[in-house]
Amino acid sequence: MISTVATTPFEGQKPGTSGLRKKVRVFQQPNYAENFIQSVFDVAERPAGSTLVIGGDGRFHNRTVIQQAIRIAAANGYARVLVGKGGILSTPAASHVIRKYGASGGLILSASHNPGGPEEDFGIKYNIANGGPAPEAVTEAIYARTQTIDRWLMVEGDDIDLDRIGSSQVGDMVAQVIDPVADYADLMEELFDFPAIRATAANGAVTTAFDAMHAVTGPYAHEILERRLGFPAGTVRNGTPLEDFGGHHPDPNLVHAAELYDLMMSSAAPTIGAASDGDGDRNLIIGKSVFITPSDSLAMLAANAHLAPAYAGGLKGIARSMPTSTAADKVAEALGIPAWETPTGWKFFGTLLDAGKATICGEESAGTGSDHVREKDGLWAVLLWLNILAVTGKPVAKLAQEHWARFGRNYYARHDYEAIETANANALMAALEDALAGLPGRSFGPLTVSAADQFAYTDPVDGSESRNQGVRVMFACGSRIVFRLSGTGTEGATLRVYLERYEAPDGRLAEETPAMLADLIAAAEAIAGIAAHTGRTAPDVVT
């Protein structure tokens, strides 16, 4: 029986770049999650008899919302729901399941790299039929509906058993619990040279440590790295998904994956160390004694992708988000293929991938992926690195040195100032925008500003426009600073400051990054007045 539940709108249900994220206590309010899910179903395009995919990263409150989402989907006319066993589906795996089974879309319940637990974060994101995040036109329609919603629908009934693979009937809809790992693992085996990787694992030529951070990629990494590729048991660390990620922050950066970093800088380091985040779409790559920035990883993967079977025929293009360093652009130029610069948010890559204009994409926030799905994919990046190591027989440090000697080196860092009072963060950005016209020609230490703007983007496929995507300050020497407020937090605002200095192939390629960026750090403070606006004299996180 379908029940109609009267409701009233909640303020602030506007999806950000990665869906709606709030504290668990916000989502636990009566009708809060239900309003948002119903709003998605009210505006989502879907034919009769559609399939919906549901899964999440295993964080606290996932199971509760999944059961409600199943009942709401049944009341809204879906014919079938595919849900990962235990409520688990990594974000890239969910994208693949949507695409493989011809679903009209999917709900991914995750707050990505944000902490989990009763006092921490939760999120819901809607992906469309191509497997990618809903574009802005859809998220704006969802938001508009949340502001007027007056009812949500559900089929009354008991919870389904999320821990047993099989089918249940919910009203007129079939709810099918599937193996969350198998389809994704099969896809990876199609993309990469598993025999070559397996051989290096067997003879010890390549060793690895993978930190799943008690998040969603644990089951995937156990199956792929240890079972299918034969790396020894214990290769995967923190491999059991926990509702609070073991009390840790599942963000694969040098702060929150410090234990892995320390291992990789020690004499006991394996060939390559890697980590992934809460929902499995981000990655961290560290070679023995060398950290590879996400921007450099994108460029190096693109330059060597032809060594993997799926990319042996070459790339159609490389796309990067605007704050990501320009290292990938130099690879694209050498390969004679397009380089696309988009706003932050994986949804902006979707049209390029669908139109065949790009094959590999990446963001500086530890996200890389290809046209195999429509999300960034942490394990995909790790497997491509393992494929490259297996074929070349070279260590990560050697590959990096050869890359910089060919293309030059983009010294790069991101400084995050977290949980700033929103009004102060907005005032800082407003002051920056007001100052843009007067910046060209000014000098800050040895740096002279050549141009400054607020980044805007027109999609080359569908013509959609996105404005106010971040302030760029470019210098005559080729360096730049980008200032941007992040949309992935749940409290206050996060100011991200991106610093980039390019050294040509015959330049200084083996220096320490902080020293090479010191002039840019000083210029960023002088230009933006970060301390005056925020009271912060240093970033909370440096990556």
Res 316 pLDDT > 70: yes
- Read off the pLDDT of residues 374-420 as tens digits, 9 standing for 90 and up: 999 999 999 999 999 999 999 999 999 999 999 999 999 999 999 99
Please write down the HEC assignment for all residues of 92-107.
HHHHHHHHHCCCCEEE
Alpha-carbon span 309 to 193, nearest angstrom:
6
Alpha-carbon span 421 to 418, nearest angstrom:
9
Residue 489 banded pLDDT, cuts 50, 70, 90? low
Q: H-helix or E-strand containing 258?
A: helix 258-264
Alpha-carbon span 481 to 471, nearest angstrom:
8
Asked if 345 and 259 sit in the same domain, the reply is yes
pLDDT recorded at residue 488: 55
Asked if 307 and 354 sit in the same domain, the reply is yes
Chain-wide mean pLDDT for the chain?
A: 96
pLDDT recorded at residue 487: 59
Asked if 402 and 414 sit in the same domain, the reply is no
List the CATH number of the domain containing 171.
3.40.120.10
Q: Select from 407, 429, 446 the last residue of a domain.
A: 407
Asked if 157 and 225 sit in the same domain, the reply is no
What's the chain's Rg over C-alpha atoms? 23
* Tokens matching residue 24: 């668990």
Contact 338, 94 (CB under 8 A): no
- Read off the pLDDT of residues 3-22 as tens digits, 9 standing for 90 and up: 999 999 999 999 987 899 99
Tell me which residue range forms the domain holding 67: 2-179
List the CATH number of the domain containing 516.
3.30.310.50
Q: What percent of the chain has pLDDT above 90?
A: 94
Asked if 394 and 286 sit in the same domain, the reply is yes
pLDDT recorded at residue 17: 73
Asked if 48 and 197 sit in the same domain, the reply is no
Q: Select from 122, 155, 179 the last residue of a domain.
A: 179
Active-site entry in 104, 110, 112, 370:
112
pLDDT recorded at residue 347: 87
Res 285 pLDDT > 90: yes
- Read off the pLDDT of residues 133-188 as tens digits, 9 standing for 90 and up: 998 899 999 999 999 999 999 999 999 999 999 999 999 999 999 999 999 999 99
Residue 490 banded pLDDT, cuts 50, 70, 90? low
Is-catalytic flag, 167? no
Asked if 171 and 318 sit in the same domain, the reply is no
SS3 category, 156: coil
Average pLDDT, integer, range 303-329: 98
Asked if 401 and 453 sit in the same domain, the reply is no
Q: Which of 497, 466, 501 is nearest to 482 (CA)?
A: 497
Asked if 394 and 424 sit in the same domain, the reply is no
Q: Is the pTM of this model over 0.85?
A: yes
Q: How many domains does the chain have?
A: 3
Q: H-helix or E-strand containing 139?
A: helix 136-146
Asked if 151 and 264 sit in the same domain, the reply is no
Average pLDDT, integer, range 267-285: 97
pLDDT recorded at residue 186: 98
Asked if 97 and 123 sit in the same domain, the reply is yes
Q: Select from 407, 432, 451 the last residue of a domain.
A: 407
Asked if 84 and 197 sit in the same domain, the reply is no
